[in-house]
A and B are shown apart, each in its own frame.
Chain A
Amino acid sequence: MTVFLSQIMNGIQNGVIYASLGLAIVLIFRTTGILNFAQGEMALFSTYVTWELTRLGLPVWLAIIVSMILAFIGGALIERIVIRPFEQSSPLVLVIVTIGLFLAFNALAQLFFGVEAKALPRAYPDRNWLIGGVSLRSDTLVLIAVLAVECLLLWALLQRTKVGLALRAVASNADSARLLGVSAATMLMLGWGLAAALGCLAGALVVPTTSGLTAGSMQGILVFAFAGVALGGFDSPIGAVVGGLIIGIADALTRQYVPALAGIEIIVPFGLILVVLLLRPQGLFGHVKVERV
């Protein structure tokens, strides 16, 4: 039983990480209809910025806040400069553009910050409690708390403020929103900025729990975050969270209990997506687009 619970805890910790990046992916998909392949590498780059700021002597929590602000500005600028010119393009062209960003950010991070692994300190004490034989790490608690606050703030922003209403209006129909006086341009920049800031936070919190920050840090996480988002539904923030958690827990339990899949555990999350999508093609919490003939 304790082994089972420990694995659940491991799964939750990883799942929360996938969910945080997944939220950023959903946010961009919701506001612009783009699947952003560069989300992970944007987070990577801003985490390097966090690391650079701590090296300049800033306390970690302040470095995270400053780099989140910088990431927000950077994300909005990317939307304005790189993505906006492709506003009328086909989705496939936009996929290629975000792949271009992916390659560029990864290479630029290596260029500016070097290839050797960087250690980023935690913003909180590293503790480990034993409760009934199950170890509970402060990492897990902090990640859960941050994700919960993120969700709450996002929900409040989208559902309870004028800006959120405008964001949703642009997402559901940009032309009608424009006619009603909502600046779609500003909202799109806002969406990208928010997503970039969320990605930055995810990166800065994840890296201290791993062996260090390298150019490949985010790619595995991105794949699982994508998997979580597909499971939950591309247009659903709740879906991203639930999907990420399911993927994390399923992965951890497979590692513990299914020795036949040793080495190919990654089959489980993707098999799970396939099964869920076969039953519900729009993901667990996604919405169906009705097509009129």
Chain B
Amino acid sequence: MAERARRQRLIVGTVVGLAILGYLLWFPQQQAPADVRLWTTAIYFGIAAMGLNLLTGYNGQVSIGHGAFFGIGAYTTAILVNDHGWSLLATIPVAAALAFVVGVAVGIPALRVKGLYLALVTLGLAVVFPDLTKKFVRGVGGTNLVRVPSASLRPPEWMPGGLQPDQWGFYLALTISLALLGGVWLIVRGRFGRALIAVRDHEAAATTVGVDLARTKVLAFALSALYAGVAGALSVQVTGIANAEKIGTFNLSILFLVAVVIGGTATVFGPLIGGFLVVMIQEQTTDFVADPPFLSGFLSGKEVLSPAIFGIMLIVLMYFLPDGIVGGFRRLLRRILTRRQPAEPLGASVAP
């Protein structure tokens, strides 16, 4: 019975996964560039959330400063492309590596600081980052805005199919997100993933069974920073700029955390779903308030309301799905499966 259920779940999962992938591959061929860019945004949001989930979900270290690592990725890519003539694709590993290194540098002092105190120290990162760029980045007209040439947003020559920049960005983000999703999956199933969870659940007990506390926590920090850095690098392909004010490192850090929690903390797919939802809900509420199908007299000119709707939706969502979308889905699945069980004849599960 359990074996059959698992096989059923695997088949259903594969079919659903392939269907979603097929839809995603088809999507940019049919949609307007603005919509494609929105979906690309949703994908790189999911990438950053996946990384934060490794740190917060699996390792229990709360960060509200990952917008800063996103910013590091975005500025690395934009500066290398604009000032040094790199191709955008080649900058992504550099952005990832730089974010990783800064992640290690932040992760080491974070070893001693725990819980809310750590959250507040990371908040400092997000708050300091825009000022740092203002002081050290010389972009358009001496401001901290770096704009990359529009030619750099086009796919490289060896790419077949004559893709538009928006389509290229979408496929690029999709490919990278799948690779990084695989990375999370491998980590979680492996030795390092079990170490992460052990440290989160009980530090003292984890050390007694031989987990290297410092190495595990710093590596978790650095890996999550790497994910955020990659997301930032991809954002340059979509927006064509790196700008700390536009990125809004503080808000972004909070939104990453929101994406992790509403998707499903410590689940493999949750953060991707959560990132998608955060981007889409915000977009939808903005559109709704700007052009409502009903209540139009009441809502006209009240665009400020959309964050309020988003905020209230967050609270409602947390009330009904405290363990996130994936957690809620799992509970639903379990309920369906257990309800079906009594219908089986007694002894059916005994192997012959």
Which A residues are within 8 Å of any B CB, using their own CB? 35, 37, 82, 85-86, 89-90, 92-93, 95-97, 99-104, 106-108, 110-111, 115, 223, 226-227, 229-230, 234, 262-267, 269-270, 273-274, 277-278, 281-283, 291, 293
Contacts and interface: CB of A to CB of B under 8 A. Distances in A.
A223 B127 contact: yes
A111 B205 contact: no
B228 to A, nearest CB: 18
Contacts of B114: 281
B86 interface: no
A224 to B, nearest CB: 9
B128 A93 contact: no
A227 B304 contact: no
B62 A92 contact: yes
A107 B306 contact: yes
A97 B314 contact: yes
A291 B314 CA distance: 33
B56 interface: yes
Given A281-B113, A293-B205, A227 B124 contact: yes
A100 B120 contact: no
Given A263-B135, A264-B134, A291-B204, 8 more contacts: A37-B254, A97-B315, A97-B318, A107-B304, A266-B131, A270-B124, A281-B113, A293-B205
A101 B262 contact: no
Interface of B: 56, 62, 109, 112-114, 116-117, 119-121, 123-125, 127-128, 131-132, 134-135, 202, 204-205, 250, 254, 257-258, 261-262, 265, 302, 304-308, 310-315, 318-319, 322
A35 B119 contact: yes
Given A104-B307, A106-B307, A266-B131, A273 B120 contact: yes
Q: 9 closest Cβ contacts across the A-B interface?
A: A270-B124, A103-B311, A107-B308, A104-B311, A100-B314, A230-B120, A110-B304, A100-B311, A100-B315
A229 to B, nearest CB: 8
Given A90-B322, A281-B113, A107 B131 contact: no
Contacts of A92: 56, 62, 257, 261, 265
Contacts of A234: 116-117
B319 A273 contact: no
A230 B302 CA distance: 37
A270 B250 CA distance: 14
Given A101-B315, A104-B307, A283-B117, A223 B123 contact: yes
15 contacts: A85-B319, A95-B257, A95-B261, A96-B314, A99-B314, A100-B312, A230-B116, A230-B117, A230-B121, A263-B135, A265-B131, A274-B113, A277-B113, A293-B202, A293-B204
B258 A99 contact: yes
A240 B297 CA distance: 46
A107 B314 contact: no
Nearest to B255: A99
B258 A101 contact: no
Given A92-B62, A96-B261, A277-B117, A111 B308 contact: yes
Nearest to B62: A92
B114 to A, nearest CB: 6
B120 A226 contact: yes
Contacts of B123: 223, 226
Nearest to A37: B254
Residue with the highest number of chain A CB atoms closer than 10 Å, among B125, B302, B315? B315
A101 B307 CA distance: 10
B109 A103 contact: no
A287 to B, nearest CB: 13
A277 B114 CA distance: 9
A227 B125 CA distance: 12
